[in-house]
Chains A and B, each alone.
Chain A
Amino acid sequence: MRLTPRFVVVLVILVALAGTGTIVSTQTPAIDRGIRIASGASALAPGTSDPSALATLRSWDQRITDMDRSGDMQRIASVDDAIVAGRVQERFVQRHRGVPVFGGDVTRQLNRFGQAESVFGAFYPDIAIDVTPTISADDARARLGRVGNGTPHGRGEVELMVLPSSDGTYRLTWTARVFSSADAWIRRVFIDAHTGATVLTYNDTWTQTASVGSGAGVLGDKKKVMTSLQSGKYLAVDLMRPPDLRTYGSFPKGSMLTFDLKNNISYAVKIFDTASPAVSDIATDDDNLWTDPGLVDAHTYAGYTYDFYNKRFSRKGLDNNNLQTWTFVNPVRAQDYTIYYNQYSSLFLNAAYLGGGNIYYGVGLPSGVTLGGQQWYPFSGALDVVAHELTHGVTDYTSKLIYSGESGALNESFSDMMGIAVEFYFQSQGSGVGQADWLIGEDIARPGGLRSAAAPNSYGDPDHYSLKYTGTGDNGGVHTNSSIVNHMYYLAIIGGTNRVSKQTVTGVGFENRTQIENVIYRAFTVLMPANATFAVARAATIQAARDLYGANSAAERSITQAWSAVGVS
């Protein structure tokens, strides 16, 4: 708790200034974070042979004993000193007519003869208020919960308290520590016990420190995991990104939280429905050596994707305002696929952006179980898949491309293209798992992955507009027809000849791929309307290329040729 250490520090400093035997009679106790309560009379008498100091010590010793008897002080602890033999350490809290006084707190150290060796603390001597509340405890509980956006938490829950004010007056209050599941903070809230008005609130989450752990991902690759240390446990809460945008009273804006749904499918479905996980659902670890590969990758890759957008496009998170991102893993056990797959196939073989910065990842299938000739691993195990889902979040806060028909295919394609870009940004180029290539999801659907930007036709997807899926399935082919745009992206960078049109494209070259990435990002986040068609996308990307690199630039030529090659004019 922050109050006590600072309180003691204040007194210790005064001892040093005053010198042995000097009595410090007043001080101003302060609560952390700039919240102050009123000055109170206090006593400090270090063990000394100075007659004056000794007299004051004896005086305070007697006052405390008297107040203990009268009920103005309540002894809440009396323990043998574990370090200095023969000493007894006592702690008292002040009460006014039985009601505790916030900040009224004294410690007394007794020697082997029962004499006071020291007294430290603050005592408020002039309280004269009635302690009968107008508001009931139950009413207060509800009000405190509303103010703190949560539920009164911990022992005592709701407590009547005399609160000293900075103007020297006192108020009877109801107080509680309120735990908010919305942002995982605990707040100390005081409301007036007569009027219900909020008197004081402050963040009362005692310790939380950014920490760096480690763990192996789905591919067995060891990586660093950004966590936070709270109450002796490590939480999958990334406080490192971005550190400069801390918002008081909540987790830092932009922090990434990973929730472990502990394979409880009904709970997972409820969470996805309401987007209201409990703080206890945040994945935890005792030693910061994380052992759940899917969780490690989901949490870590979310950070990588943030970094990519930030470094490449100076974007701050999904909403460009460091929206907090919640990732959900382990919605179901993979081995329960025989029970749940028919009803909840997406919790096994899918990942989804739920809106509002919330993403979940399917768990794949058990080892040895294949589908379509492929082994399916936790979907968070592929960097391009994670970047794909988070890019849906970018779309959510920019173009809002309608998830149907051509605009839906553009929505999917933007996620695929950025997923590929993120892979190339962080991984070395190659054709194996864990390497950057033009496939989507090759790390979690093995062998082969889900789609190919280089050769869509080999996956049964159209690589030319003339082959566009025109049915109603898949929201009008949002995943199928995205391949036409993906292939345009590939041709604009690498170049080549379209299989159908036979048109040849001169790409900007792999080493200049950032030009096309920048063009795509600008077009899809700035220029594109929600109901864009492929033709609009062509025009928007050509405009973006001109904006960024000039008319008739290599980027514009490549983009133009690539759209034409895939049949979009």
Chain B
Amino acid sequence: MRRYSFIAITLAITALLSATAAAAQTGAVISVNGIYQGGTEAVSNTVSFTANAETATFTSNFPVKSGPGFDAGLRVGVRGAIGVAIGITRFTATGNADVTAKIPHPFFFNQPRSIAGTANLSREETTTRLAIVFSSAANKRVQVSAFVGPAFFSVKQTLVDAVSYTDSYPYDTATFGQATTKQVTKSKTGVTAGAEVSYFFAKHVGIGLTAAVAKATIPITAVDGSSVSLSAGGTQIGAGLRFRF
């Protein structure tokens, strides 16, 4: 993740330095990228509930792993090197979450039985950004730009909602049954910054590389009312087509 951040920052600085000597950029550029979102965030969620006249807990730990996504944007020159951009990024991740639980013994206080299993969870992030762009054209074919601005995150996160188990007399052990999940949707504004390099091999069509960082911390409410903090976004690198008008 650090390497991706370094690339993004380097590109942004390069673009800004270039912009100081750049010619005015007008027109619009549409970008369509396949991206790879880096960084692994673990969504950890502990829920308490009452079982056998005592407090039981289960904890799920879902690693949101790096993976591919999709990005599209429109950049419009406003004045000189400055422009505005809007864009949307979509990222999804699915995988198994480790689920552990402590189920109180029906006969005795403070003698919980430990059980463990997995649950298939998913994360869907849709990020809409509005950014100010600093662009520079090295020549007619190569264009470098940097952008920064707010990012509006909409995150759908499945969380473990309940854990079922089986036990039988004398109840000294319990067996994990299954975990049921529930999708929680929450939105929050974060920030994004990045840079891209475009190469136009035709008058209106080109290719580009992009690197960006988009982040937001989103609190969501678990089934027992407790708050779970999600770290949405991450470092993104991508490549795709450019259409210039």
Q: Is the CB of B168 within 8 A of A244?
A: yes
Partner of A243 from the list B107, B108, B169 (CB cut-off 8 Å) is B169
Query: B139-182, CB under 8 A of A: which get 1 and which 0?
Result: 00000000000000000000000000000111100000000000
Partner of A224 from the list B109, B168, B169, B170 (CB cut-off 8 Å) is B109
Q: Is the CB of A244 within 8 A of B106?
A: no
Known: A226-B106, A240-B107, A303-B107. A212 touches B52 (CB 8 A): yes
A247 to chain B, nearest CB (A): 15
Query: B92-123, CB under 8 A of A: which get 1 and which 0?
Result: 00000000000000111100000000000000
Residues of B within 8 A of A223 (CB): 108-109
A320 to chain B, nearest CB (A): 15
Residues of A within 8 A of B53 (CB): 212-214, 224, 288
Query: A442-478, CB under 8 A of B: which get 1 and which 0?
Result: 0000000000000000000000000000000000000
* Interfacial residues of chain A within 201-225, with CB under 8 A of chain B in the complex: 212-214, 222-224
B interface residues, tally (CB under 8 Å): 11
A250 to chain B, nearest CB (A): 18
Known: A212-B52, A212-B53, A214-B53. A224 touches B108 (CB 8 A): yes
Answer yes or no: A311 CB below 8 A from chain B CBs.
Answer: yes
Q: Is the CB of B170 within 8 A of A307?
A: yes
Residues of B within 8 A of A311 (CB): 170
A468 to chain B, nearest CB (A): 40
Residues of A within 8 A of B52 (CB): 212, 224
A323 to chain B, nearest CB (A): 16
Answer yes or no: A364 CB below 8 A from chain B CBs.
Answer: no
Query: B41-55, CB under 8 A of A: which get 1 and which 0?
Result: 000000000001110
CA distance A304 to B168 in the complex (A): 16
Residues of B within 8 A of A231 (CB): none
A301 to chain B, nearest CB (A): 11
Query: A302-322, CB under 8 A of B: which get 1 and which 0?
Result: 011001001100000000000
Answer yes or no: A108 CB below 8 A from chain B CBs.
Answer: no
Residues of A within 8 A of B109 (CB): 222-224
Query: A225-246, CB under 8 A of B: which get 1 and which 0?
Result: 0100000000000001111100
CA distance A222 to B108 in the complex (A): 10
Residue on B nearest A221 in the bound complex, by CB: B109
CA distance A532 to B51 in the complex (A): 48
Q: Is the CB of B171 within 8 A of A240?
A: yes
B49 to chain A, nearest CB (A): 14
CA distance A307 to B53 in the complex (A): 20
Residue on B nearest A289 in the bound complex, by CB: B53
Residue on B nearest A225 in the bound complex, by CB: B53
Partner of B107 from the list A226, A244, A288 (CB cut-off 8 Å) is A226
Residues of B within 8 A of A243 (CB): 168-169
A407 to chain B, nearest CB (A): 33
* Interfacial residues of chain B within 29-61, with CB under 8 A of chain A in the complex: 52-54
Residues of B within 8 A of A224 (CB): 52-54, 106-109
CA distance A244 to B109 in the complex (A): 23
| Among B106, B107, B109, B170: residue with most chain A CB under 10 A | B107
A406 to chain B, nearest CB (A): 36
Residue on B nearest A304 in the bound complex, by CB: B107
Query: A155-174, CB under 8 A of B: which get 1 and which 0?
Result: 00000000000000000000
CA distance A224 to B168 in the complex (A): 17
Residue on B nearest A210 in the bound complex, by CB: B106
A312 to chain B, nearest CB (A): 11
CA distance A310 to B169 in the complex (A): 10
Residues of A within 8 A of B168 (CB): 243-244
Partner of A212 from the list B106, B169, B170 (CB cut-off 8 Å) is B106
Residue on A nearest B105 in the bound complex, by CB: A224
Residues of A within 8 A of B170 (CB): 307, 310-311
B56 to chain A, nearest CB (A): 12
Residue on B nearest A215 in the bound complex, by CB: B53
Q: Is the CB of B169 within 8 A of A240?
A: yes
B171 to chain A, nearest CB (A): 7
CA distance A228 to B175 in the complex (A): 23
Residue on B nearest A214 in the bound complex, by CB: B53
Residue on B nearest A211 in the bound complex, by CB: B53
Residue on B nearest A241 in the bound complex, by CB: B169
Q: Is the CB of B107 within 8 A of A242?
A: no
CA distance A311 to B170 in the complex (A): 8
Residue on A nearest B171 in the bound complex, by CB: A240
Residue on B nearest A223 in the bound complex, by CB: B109
Q: Is the CB of A244 within 8 A of B169?
A: yes
Residues of A within 8 A of B169 (CB): 240-244, 310
CA distance A212 to B52 in the complex (A): 5
Residues of A within 8 A of B108 (CB): 223-224
CA distance A295 to B107 in the complex (A): 16
B102 to chain A, nearest CB (A): 16
Residue on B nearest A303 in the bound complex, by CB: B107
Query: A487-523, CB under 8 A of B: which get 1 and which 0?
Result: 0000000000000000000000000000000000000
Residue on A nearest B51 in the bound complex, by CB: A212
Residue on A nearest B50 in the bound complex, by CB: A212
CA distance A244 to B171 in the complex (A): 12
Residues of B within 8 A of A303 (CB): 107
CA distance A226 to B106 in the complex (A): 8
Residue on A nearest B108 in the bound complex, by CB: A224
CA distance A16 to B52 in the complex (A): 38
CA distance A242 to B107 in the complex (A): 12
A296 to chain B, nearest CB (A): 13
CA distance A212 to B105 in the complex (A): 10
B55 to chain A, nearest CB (A): 12
B-contacting residues of A (Cβ < 8 Å)?
Answer: 212-214, 222-224, 226, 240-244, 288, 303-304, 307, 310-311
User: Other CB < 8 Å A-B pairs besides A212-B52, A307-B107, 18 of them?
Assistant: A212-B53, A212-B106, A214-B53, A222-B109, A223-B108, A224-B106, A224-B107, A226-B106, A226-B107, A240-B106, A240-B107, A241-B169, A242-B169, A288-B53, A307-B170, A310-B169, A310-B170, A311-B170
Task: Pull 24 A–B residue pairs with CB atoms less than 8 Å apart, ordered by A.
Answer: A213-B53, A214-B53, A222-B109, A223-B108, A223-B109, A224-B52, A224-B53, A224-B106, A224-B107, A224-B109, A240-B169, A240-B171, A241-B169, A243-B168, A243-B169, A244-B168, A244-B169, A288-B53, A303-B107, A307-B107, A307-B170, A310-B169, A310-B170, A311-B170
The 7 A-B pairs of least Cβ separation, nearest first, read A212-B52, A242-B169, A212-B53, A214-B53, A212-B106, A243-B169, A224-B53
